[in-house]
Amino acid sequence: MIKEMIATGDTVEQAYEKACEMLGVETHEAEFEILEMPVKKTFGIFGGSPAKVRAFIKSSPADEAAEYLKKVVRGMGLEDVEIEIKEEESGSLLSLTGEDIGFIIGHRGETLDALQYLAGLVANHVENTYYRITLDIGNYREKRKETLEVLGRKMAAKALKTGRNCSLEPMNPYERRIIHTAVQEVEGAKSWSEGEDMARHVVIGPEEGERPQRRSNNYRGGNSRSRGGQKGGNRRNNGGRPRNNEITSRPAGSAPKRDSGDAPLYGRIDRKG
């Protein structure tokens, strides 16, 4: 994109300096085109015309993104915000500095990520090729990277210890890549992404898959005790009698009870006088 300004002056040099001042750049940063040469007045009184110069600069995608961000932060009530542009591979890093701008970061960088996305859209309208914009405030990106690396290694160790998969909170693609890289440093652990769109997140687990979990002693069919303190297999009802499907044991040393030979078929029957 080209920015230009047209200015006039008594001389070409004056017109050019005025046009550069209107562009906000130094004279060596802009190119110029002479539109009209100055014409001196006849006898110093009649006629004459000033010089007219067109000064222009070709703004980079990063410059366009920076100008857009300045307008946005001014709308957020921040006037004195400086933006430093640092060229990187396939893009630029835009660092914002100023007073009370920490709130722009937002919860876990969500506001900063949103502004970065919008600035990237503006930058990629300038050129047809992809141009990456990274937005940073107070070295937040580096601090966040270190935090995610520690988190990735910690959760990988936990997954190996428990033999269970661990799911992390949803993250953007950049932060998920940091987690994947950190997990690769832990032997025996692996990571992958699940979910769609805003719910996409990283899952960390053992390379060999989850281990079968042991059943608890209190699991159904185990050695749990009843409320009365007896084992579940020897429970009795309130009357002290065994249940229908229970078999009671005979006291040790006692002989089985035998029926006498003259006992009636249906037991003893007492006659009434």
Torsion, Cα of 12, 17, 21, 27 (10° steps): 120
- How is domain 61-138 classified at the architecture level of CATH? 2-Layer Sandwich (3.30)
| pTM of model > 0.75 | no
Helix (H, G, I), strand (E, B) or coil at 69: helix
Torsion, Cα of 23, 29, 31, 37 (10° steps): 70
100-149 pLDDT tens trace: 888 889 888 889 999 999 999 998 887 677 889 999 998 999 999 999 99
Domain boundaries, the chain: 2-58, 61-138, 142-206
First to last CA, the chain: 129
> 């006629």: which residue's tokens?
47
Q: How far apart (Å, rounded) are the C-alpha atoms in residues 43 and 46?
A: 7
For residue 165, what is the DSSP state? -
Fold for domain 142-206? Ribosomal Protein S8; Chain: A, domain 1 (3.30.1370)
> Which among 106, 65, 109 has a CA at the least distance from the CA of 83?
65
40-77 pLDDT tens trace: 776 666 667 888 988 877 778 888 899 899 999 988 88
Q: How far apart (Å, rounded) are the C-alpha atoms in residues 68 and 164?
A: 47
